[in-house]
Structure 1
Amino acid sequence: MILVFGKTGQVALELQSILPEARFLSRAEADLADPEACAAAIADARPDAVINAAAYTAVDKAEDDEVTAQIINGEAPGAMARAAAARGIPFIHISTDYVFDGSGDTAFATDAPTAPIGAYGRTKLAGEEAVAASGAPHAIMRTSWVFSAHGGNFVKTMLRLSETRDTLNVVGDQIGGPTPARAIAAACKAMAEGLVAAPEKSGIYHFSGAPDVSWADFARAIFRRAGRNVTVNDIPTAEYPTPAKRPLNSRLDCASLAAFGLERPDWQAGLDDVLKELGATS
């Protein structure tokens, strides 16, 4: 049995469709703000593997609430991973491109120097370090620009805005790989199963959709594939200030995925699936 932390997030909801036999823990059952309770949940459930699909993801809010974000993103994953280590079972942890500073224009390798530029990235990096130090067979999956038919994400925001707007200004100087939550879920399953057979594959992996695009180009693809007549104007990040800085370069080198027989997902195909699920196809 696979134990999953998270029940209503984008990846957790997709995991429910591909892992119907797994047990999913809601916040009421395992609050990540209580790391030791999360560790106890693993000890009680006695699973064969653990996937952490829960996190503090409010990037801007984290700037003023880093203490809470640190507990949820940093301390809780460490406690979970140590509990997994005690049982000798794999622990899959989802992380982010925000652990990098977003400089340059080449894809970040898994061993590239980390240098987060905000609270969210700092707390996620702390979680990575705690998981790596736990002694558990583990896969830390860094991903980017997650989207699905569930929750709040860029695709759903663009569709909502297109209902009342025929022109939108969208940031054009941030580049990354949009990633379908369904593909992330499938990769988590593959990594969990792979680590059961080969725990020596423990490490950091990058998983993002291909090809890399700007937010503005991603928006154009959404409108084109949804049949929405919306003009997108590229603007620089400087013209769209937010409390937390966003990395300009979110490109991830995903070559290491071959260890699990995985490759970068086609985000355009994933987008078509999401639009169909939302009933937003042209």
Structure 2
Amino acid sequence: MILVFGQSGQVARELALLADVRCLGRDDVDLEYPLNCAEAIAIHQPAAVINAAAFTNVDGAETEASRAHLVNAHAPEAMAQACADLGIPFVSISTDYVFDGAGDAPWREGDTPAPVNAYGRSKLAGEVAIAQVGGTWAVLRTSWVVSAHGNNFVKTMLRLGAERDALTIVADQIGGLTPARDIARACHHMAQSLISEPNKGGIYHFSGSPNASWADVARATFETADLTCTVTDIPSSDYPTPALRPLNSRLDCYKIKKTFGIKRPDWRKGIADIVKELA
């Protein structure tokens, strides 16, 4: 059995559909109390653990930095230690926001992180803590998560596109939209592989293809859903947010393909799946 921290989040809901998975929600374990995470692992004695839970409110983290750090850094550290003590694999999800977004080259796993917001700093602290604990572990950095569940950009566009004739959308942030379903499958595959091949541990990048802007994604969403809503490109400076967003969120995903055989998913198919599921 693979134990998953997270139940209501986008990736956790997709993981729950996979075989031999047990998901723990906030009612089961509150990540603001990291020692409870370790206790849950000790009680369930799983074959592997996946952390799909996090403080994901990027703007909210600017005013709740301590809480974000507790959930995104200290809780994964406690999970990693418990897994190391039991000699089982630990897989944790991280983010492209550990980078500053400079340039236009896809970020590689070995590039130096330099987060520009509190959320990114909390996730990077979690990565560092997991690596320092040791044991068999893997961190999956991903970006721009979407699904038919929860709040995400595609669902927002589907709602606004049905209500309005035109929208202005940020076009200078470039990255890979990533369906939660594909992230779940990647994490599950990695966790299973690490049971017999612990040498495959480390940091990996995984995002959807092709790289695109938020404006590009909005247009693709409207086209897929047959919505007649016009998109006008704007720079990030015209849409200020409490937390800075990196302009370059491109991720180099060669390593995960070479090591695990996991290919970048086509996010356009992901949008079609979401539209179909919501219908």
Shorter-chain TM-score: which interval?
over 0.9
Match of 1:40 in 2: 39
CA distance in structure 2 between the partners assigned to 1:252 and 1:82 by the alignment? 28
Aligned partner of residue 169 in structure 2, secondary structure:
strand
Match of 2:129 in 1: 130
Q: Which structure 1 residue ranges, 5 or more long, are not aligned? A: none
Which residue type is aligned with residue 272 of structure 1? A
CA distance in structure 1 between the partners assigned to 2:15 and 2:241 by the alignment? 31
Shift of 1:136: 2.1
TM alignment of 1:102-117, pairs within 5 A: 102-117=101-116
Match of 1:66 in 2: 65
CA distance in structure 2 between the partners assigned to 1:139 and 1:275 by the alignment? 32
Match of 1:165 in 2: 164
Which residue type is aligned with residue 252 of structure 1? L
Match of 2:48 in 1: 49
Which residue type is aligned with residue 138 of structure 1? W
CA distance in structure 2 between the partners assigned to 1:98 and 1:263 by the alignment? 21
Which residue type is aligned with residue 190 of structure 1? H
Match of 1:264 in 2: 264
CA distance in structure 2 between the partners assigned to 1:191 and 1:138 by the alignment? 10
Shift of 1:152: 0.2
CA distance in structure 2 between the partners assigned to 1:80 and 1:136 by the alignment? 11
Shift of 1:16: 1.0
CA distance in structure 2 between the partners assigned to 1:236 and 1:270 by the alignment? 26
The count of residues paired between Structure 1 and Structure 2 equals: 278
Which residue type is aligned with residue 241 of structure 1? P
Aligned partner of residue 139 in structure 1, secondary structure:
strand
CA distance in structure 2 between the partners assigned to 1:34 and 1:60 by the alignment? 22
Q: Which runs of 4+ in 1 moved over 4 A?
A: none
CA distance in structure 2 between the partners assigned to 1:271 and 1:229 by the alignment? 16
TM alignment of 1:74-223, pairs within 5 A: 74-223=73-222
CA distance in structure 1 between the partners assigned to 2:275 and 2:108 by the alignment? 31
CA distance in structure 1 between the partners assigned to 2:25 and 2:12 by the alignment? 10
Q: Which structure 2 residue ranges, 5 or more long, are not aligned? A: none
Match of 2:247 in 1: 248
Which residue type is aligned with residue 118 of structure 2? A
Aligned partner of residue 142 in structure 1, secondary structure:
strand
Shift of 1:23: 1.2
TM-score between both structures, scaled by the size of structure 2: 0.99
CA distance in structure 1 between the partners assigned to 2:140 and 2:179 by the alignment? 14
Which residue type is aligned with residue 198 of structure 1? E
Query: Taking every aligned residue pair, what percent have the same amino acid on both sides?
Result: 58
CA distance in structure 2 between the partners assigned to 1:107 and 1:23 by the alignment? 34
Shift of 1:188: 0.5
Match of 2:232 in 1: 233
CA distance in structure 2 between the partners assigned to 1:36 and 1:230 by the alignment? 49
Aligned partner of residue 18 in structure 1, secondary structure:
coil
Which residue type is aligned with residue 76 of structure 1? A
Stretch moving more, 10-19 or 209-218: 10-19
Which residue type is aligned with residue 125 of structure 2? A
Deviations 1:15-59 (A, max 9, x none): 11123x311101011111000011111011100000000000000
Aligned partner of residue 17 in structure 1, secondary structure:
coil
Aligned partner of residue 94 in structure 1, secondary structure:
strand
Which residue type is aligned with residue 174 of structure 1? Q
Shift of 1:272: 0.9
Deviations 1:192-219 (A, max 9, x none): 0110111011100000000000000000
CA distance in structure 1 between the partners assigned to 2:18 and 2:235 by the alignment? 39
RMSD of equivalent CA atoms? 0.6
TM-score between both structures, scaled by the size of structure 1: 0.98
Shift of 1:163: 2.0
CA distance in structure 2 between the partners assigned to 1:207 and 1:244 by the alignment? 23
